[in-house]
Structure 1
Amino acid sequence: MDRAEQAEQVRHAEQVDWVEVPAGTLWRGTPVEEVARLAHRYADTGVPVEWYLKEAPRAEIHVPAFRIARTQVTVGQWSLFSAATGRPVPRAPANHPVTGITWEAATAYCRWLGNRLGGLDVRLPTEDEWERAARGDDDREFPWGDGYRTGLANLVDLGVGTTMPVGSFPEGAGPFGVLDMAGNADEWTSTLYAPYPGAPVEVPGAEDWAFDPHITRGGAFRHDRDLARCARRHGAYERDLAAIGVGFRLAAPAG
């Protein structure tokens, strides 16, 4: 491969398929009165009702316009950053989401790529932006709608047991066309965990047991369908971020 071909390969890997998310209303979270029924509906997953209480109360939130990447950052994209910074590259195909990435490393990648793209403010999405991209203008339960169906996301029920190429489930796209917002890799946000304003008193003020205090969203290949829900708040609760499938997706100001 000559230098021109190498340069073109790098240029292609640095490009981001941005999805424009218009300013709008997010019906964030879950109404308090629905939490018990929600926990009952997903009782087979073993998730205690207290975990769902973190989603309460529901609130009407205005989210300004922004851009979000259609797919998660891949191993191939990460490898360019690795070559420039000496960070390790996970052993996975180039078109799979990169996982095992700390929050600090993910934000470092954002800064690096932003500089490569001419000073663009590339960053992690906020928790509200993530849920807005997944949920759109309504209160759908999953990015694709209200009903769960195996085969729309890479979660534990699919039986794959590892990551898959990004964008493998076009029928599972969210309302704006963003892919893999459920499953494959759990995604960092820029938001530190805190109870929502007006949360039930049972909701902890901090999650001291978490490996990192930032919220993750969407769930990974090892997670059950409850993590695919648009409102589900999660976190990195184990130190081995590769084993639990933590990756990330990019956001930026509206174009």
Structure 2
Amino acid sequence: MSDAVGGEWMPPAEVDWVEIPEGVVRRGTPIADLESVAERYADTGALPQWFRKEAPRADVRVPAFRIARTPVTVAQWAAFATATGRPVTAAPTRADHPVIGVAWADAAAYCDWIGTRLGVGVRLPTEDEWERAARGDDDREFPWGREYRIGLANLHDLGIGTTTTVGSFPDGASPFGVLDMAGNADEWTSTRYAPYPGAPADVPAVEDWAFDPHITRGGAFRHDRDLARCARRHGAYEADLAAIGVGFRLAAGAA
């Protein structure tokens, strides 16, 4: 594929898949921990109720699947946009950055398009798959471990204020070697928002203030460290998806 936005279209290269084995993800946050989590991130401006939809903690078995090592880039999106008549959403100098500003339906359409060309059933990851790929087999808080460290993800605290080249923070990799699971671009999943079974009674049944009902994960360059948490459930709460940094990565069934 050409790595220049607006350049001549070429067939897409193979996706750099990471194989995630079947296993159990320790999904979410224990109800007993919600108060301490809210206190730990109070300095970010995150409200306590935002964390309550992560509860309760549950061990969820996730079948084996594949997930792309990095999010879809501007150059990869440009090939699709050129082929399908969709707008190219970023400048040529950002070809290796994650594409942002993509509506959920267009992200799903990209999955269908690239899957047809590769002969693979490509899709967006489910919320449980995303957390499994980020968290691995334990209950770590961040993809890289239990403690937050500045410089392992492109988040607000770095002061960059925009996206960076995908894969720029290898020390922030998940246990399976998946990159950019925190920061850079907030990522669509295929899962529509709903409370987890057994959630606290005050967790809303519907987030009717969201621009789109699908869950996003990981946080973007504009977000604080609370969005870098593996358990953090987010969403597109503004219509300007580029401003809030919404992008996506690919998933598929096990090879």
The TM-score range, normalised by the shorter chain, is over 0.9
Over residues 150-209 of structure 1, what are the superposed CA-to-partner deviations in whole Å (9 max), with x where a residue is unaligned?
A: 100000000000000000000000000000000000000000000000000010000000
- Match runs of 1:198-217 below 5 Å: 198-217=198-217
Partner of 1:77: 76
Who is 1:241 aligned against?
Answer: 241
Query: Hey, what's the Cα distance between the residues in 1 that align with 2:13 and 2:32?
Result: 45
Q: Which residue pairs with 2:177 in the alignment?
A: 177
More displaced, 85-94 or 209-218? 85-94
Question: What SS does the corresponding residue of 1:68 show, helix, strand or coil?
Answer: strand
Among the aligned pairs, what percent are the same residue? 73
For residues 81 and 110 of structure 1, what CA distance do their matches in structure 2 show?
10
Secondary structure, in 3 states, of the residue corresponding to 1:27?
strand
Cα distance in 1 for partners of 2:104, 2:160 equals: 26
RMSD of Structure 2 on Structure 1 (CA): 1.1
- The whole-number CA distance in structure 2 between the counterparts of 1:191 and 1:124 is 9
| DSSP 3-state at the match of 1:87 | coil
Q: Is 1:28 equivalent to 2:5 in the alignment?
A: no
Which residue of 2 is the match for residue 114 of structure 1?
A: 115
CA drift of 1:89 comes to 1.2
Q: Identify the range of structure 1 (67-76 vs 84-93) with the bigger mean alpha-carbon deviation.
A: 84-93
Shift of 1:90: 1.7
Note the residue ranges of structure 1 that are not aligned, 5 or more in a row. 1-7
Report the secondary structure of 1:10's partner residue: coil
Per the alignment, residue 96 of structure 1 pairs with 97
Deviation at 1:9, TM superposition (A): 7.6
Q: Distance in 2 between matches of 1:39 and 1:14?
A: 43
Kindly indicate whether residue 112 of structure 2 is the aligned counterpart of residue 139 of structure 1: no
Q: Secondary structure at the match of 1:188?
A: strand
Instruction: Confirm or deny: 8 A CA contact 1:209 1:237 kept in the other structure.
Output: yes
Gap runs ≥5 in structure 2: 1-7
Aligned 8 A contact 1:14 1:113 in 2: no
SS at match of 1:157: helix
Corresponding letter in the other structure for 2:44: T
Q: Tell me, in whole angstroms, the C-alpha distance in 2 between the residues paired with 1:22 and 1:211.
A: 33
